[in-house]
Amino acid sequence: MIILALTPAPFYMHYSLGKDPNQSNEKFIPDCLVMLGGGGMPSEDNLMRLYYSGQFAEFYQVPVIIIHPDDSLSQVKMTRILENYGISEDKITFFTKGTNTRLQALYFIEEFPELVNKKIMLITSPSHLKRSVKCFNKLGFTNVRGQAAFESTVNFDLSIDNLKLKGNKYLPVVKSTNFRYTFWNYLKLEIICFREYTAICYYWLKGWI
């Protein structure tokens, strides 16, 4: 894992998981957005997904269905954030059945059978996207597309000025951002990706995707 973190492989592994498996060149205008909630509120996952949900819902002027375990406090906070993006409360629906992707998709098709042939945009974290879209496809949803809630990269100088920092002058300064940031970020991505690859294999063996 350490050797792999010294290469760009973890980045491309993570990027691959976040690519929509149903991607095509055809113009896709969704009839509704379905956000798969992750964790409590506030949390990094939910805030990222809400950001993308708010942007797309406001742009396409479509309703948002949030699949998230029942938690009234989280629901209130998520609603307030979407309202900040101009999404009125009457366009936000919470679906609270299920605690894993397969079960949520099963309950979802029972509750919203009219959406089977509608154009649905699934919004979730990059590592979770491929499995989510394939779960919905397996249950008969014919027009599902996925949008990963990727983070934006920074574009500023992270180099170290040893003279300004002072301190022990005999200890060399690690100027390389590859070791200070990229290496550790890639180690984290490896854990996320290996966990998701395991989940995808399990779902495939169970016949859920």
- What tens digit of pLDDT does each residue of 28-43 get? 999 999 999 878 888 8
* DSSP tag of 198: H
Percent of the chain with pLDDT over 90: 74
Report the 10 Å Cβ neighbour count for 145.
Answer: 17
pTM of the predicted structure, to 2 decimals: 0.88
- Which residues of the chain are modeled with pLDDT < 50? none
For residue 178, the one-letter residue type is: N
Sheet holding 143-148, edge to edge: 92-95, 64-67, 32-36, 119-124, 143-148
Q: Half-sphere exposure of residue 99, counting CA atoms within 13 Å on the CB side? A: 2
- What tens digit of pLDDT does each residue of 154-174 get? 666 666 666 566 666 666 666
Per the CB < 8 A criterion, the answer to whether 10 and 186 are in contact is yes
Architecture of the domain defined by 28-152: 3-Layer(aba) Sandwich (3.40)
- CATH 3.40.50.620, the chain: domain bounds: 28-152
State how far the alpha carbon of 100 is from the alpha carbons of 21, 164, 168, in Å. 20, 50, 51
C-alpha 58, offset from chain centre:
19
Confidence (pLDDT) at 171: 65
